[in-house]
Structure 1
């Protein structure tokens, strides 16, 4: 009797090495999503004050009066800024919802699956678009700064998600799982 097996045992495949570009894409997606969420929350909390500041600055430019007098005049008119506050709330909800989705799908992108990268892209595009709108519109320095950072990091996340190394890694992971299953 021999100690050799009847059939050769196939070698176990090496575990695929996660590329640095995938880790960078995951980090960028999470950071961009968190920046968008924080920007949206700040906008929600301070929408009435932000609307008053924006309207007072615009009124002061048109009439030539000081900003404080314009604020006092706007405060005397109840309901005058409701449309502006509603617009700010809508922008904030878009940032919060798509920012949270970007965080979630960024964390699910660990295996570099195509569906996860597509969902990261689809949730980053509205967040980046709204961040661009906030950056180019009137608002506080904090809102514009957070939106600018979310915009830049969101674009980086989209680009990093689709680098070829991530696609190769996804194929290696899929092949490794198929070999293990058989």
Structure 2
């Protein structure tokens, strides 16, 4: 370490990085909670969704049509439930992977590194897109509420990660090394 580096004052991490980390953690927890809702609900959750008249209207179904499908054969109806659950489970699994990646890169971005903030932004856009799909598609109220929380907290996190203080902090840290 040179004499000029030793005389530099210690660089203090700005509060905006901690705020961004917290917002990212809220997004991660909400995304995982929404996925757990899907996994724990299983095909019974899909069955209850199909009993909702609003969901039926959205899907172009009627209660009579669903009852007819049940009468034609429980196997056929179960296949429909399994297919619908499969779609929801795939989205939930993708949300868990995104949440994990967001967590990893948020921890890596604590130093304000530009590359980590870029990755968080890209992952955030993907997470927001996925949750907007969940919120606007057939889902339980809990899934929609958690999806909206993911959208809001991810938007806040992305903005916080790009505040000027974080860039200055990253530059100051780089100058010290």
Q: TM-score, normalised by structure 2?
A: 0.82
2-side partners of 1:63 and 1:140: how far apart? 19
Determine helix, strand or coil for the equivalent of 2:32. Answer: helix
Determine helix, strand or coil for the equivalent of 1:78. Answer: helix
Residue 44 of structure 1 deviates from its aligned partner by 2.0
Aligned to 2:40: 45
1-side partners of 2:150 and 2:90: how far apart? 18
Aligned to 2:141: 141
Decide which structure has the larger Cα Rg and report it. 1
1:21-75 residue CA offsets vs partner (Å, 9 max, x unmatched): 111111111221121112112212213122212323244884356xxx85x9389
Determine if contact 1:35/1:149 at 8 Å carries over to the other structure.
yes
1:136-177 residue CA offsets vs partner (Å, 9 max, x unmatched): 122211111111111100111111111111111100000011
Determine if contact 2:51/2:63 at 8 Å carries over to the other structure.
no
- Structure 1: gaps (5+ residues): 1-8, 178-182
- Answer 1 or 2: higher relative contact order, Cα 8 Å, separation at least 6: 2
1:16 aligns with one of 11, 14, 20: 11
Q: TM-score, normalised by structure 1?
A: 0.80
Aligned to 1:63: 62
Larger proportion of helix: 2
Aligned to 1:27: 22
1-side partners of 2:83 and 2:160: how far apart? 38
Determine if contact 2:131/2:148 at 8 Å carries over to the other structure.
yes
- Structure 2: gaps (5+ residues): none
